[in-house]
Amino acid sequence: MNTAVLALEDGTVFEGSSFGAPVERTGEVVFNTSLTGYQEIFTDPSYAGQIVVLTNPQIGNYGANDADNEAAKPYIEGLAVREFSPLSSNWRADETAQEFLASNGVPIITGIDTRTLVRHLRSRGVMRGVLSSIGGTTIGRTMDSLVARAKNSPSMAGLDLATRVSTTQRYEWSKAVDLCSPSDLAGKPAEPRFHVVAYDFGMKRNILRRLVQVGCRLTVVPAGTSAEDVLSLKPDGVFLSNGPGDPEPLEYPAAQVAKLVGHVPVFGICLGHQILGLALGGKTYKLKFGHRGGNHPVLNKITGRVEITAHNHGFAVDPDSLNMNELEITHTNLNDDTLEGFRHRSHPVFCVQYHPEAAPGPHDSLYLFDDFVKLMEAAR
């Protein structure tokens, strides 16, 4: 088995075994604490530009299948795990996770102490890295050269990745949640009563499925679509999707969203939440090591209930930058008190930082899709 090396920009190096594609990739090294759903993590476009460390010690044991994809391909730059299974044992598997990642050019490093790596990232913050699975030093690259390449790789701060991963063409979506999926609790989809235009900033498919489940007919549009073009489609509501990278460079999308406020109900998730914050005059900032996993406690300040939620983001909206005469904070993170959701006091506009659609993760927050439907009903 070939050797693989993960080198961080601060000079820390991990050496392990290579699976996946025999290639070398750079990216921001981040960690996710989810216990299940590795394929959904692999294919989440929000991970574009990132090497993902999974804290669950064994990955790959139930293989991969087309139904669990959140996009047409994996978007992670590389994968770091404690133990990677080259075999799969699950009736739903179409192929092994090794075959799935290798065929899509994703390198894997396994056999490293992921606990040490995660503790390092928590104390120092996420950082740039290089994952080389083509022989490490035997290919003529010293460890120092890998560290130097990590230092010279692009930073996520200031990087617009959303427009790179967005769809280039408008399309319709009508598929509901797959009832064969063991993660589904939704039941039979409602009849389509509302037309929703969904901005694709790096859209997860399960968001689209959940919207169809509650009775929406969907038109998905590219990240650079103008507000005028959106309104010409006569939507009952507009959805702002999740996505990768820094929200601050997305000035044009934020300006278009600002034009939509007051004309049509708007619902945003993750990057969509951040873009909505920017559209309403707020600012965003980079978190030390981000929120990525399926067990983050969030307080719903309207109901007083605590929701266990799925997260995947490295930036947050600064609540002090928002105009509280216009906006109301609805959700906060109980781990670090970061802003997790807000709504407009005068217009049918709301958003959350976390992922109510799960995939992977808990279903505590599925009610938000119903809340969006209620806003559209009221707006009619």
* Catalytic site positions: 270, 355, 357
DSSP string covering 254-265: HHHHHHHTTTS-
| Cβ atoms 53, 78 nearer than 8 A | no
Residues with Cβ within 8 Å of residue 245, at least 6 apart in sequence: 48, 49, 156, 159, 160, 161, 162, 271
Tell me which residue has tokens 């929000």: 46
- Six-digit token pair at 181? 């999926």
Q: How many CB atoms lie within 10 A of CB 213?
A: 22
CA distance 54 to 66: 21
CA 345/CA 331 separation, integer angstroms: 15
- Report the half-sphere exposure of 118 (CA within 13 A, side-chain side): 19
DSSP 355: B
CA distance 363 to 41: 17
CA angle 281, 286, 292 (to 5 degrees): 115
How large is the angle between the packed helices 205-213 and 367-379, nearest 10 degrees? 60
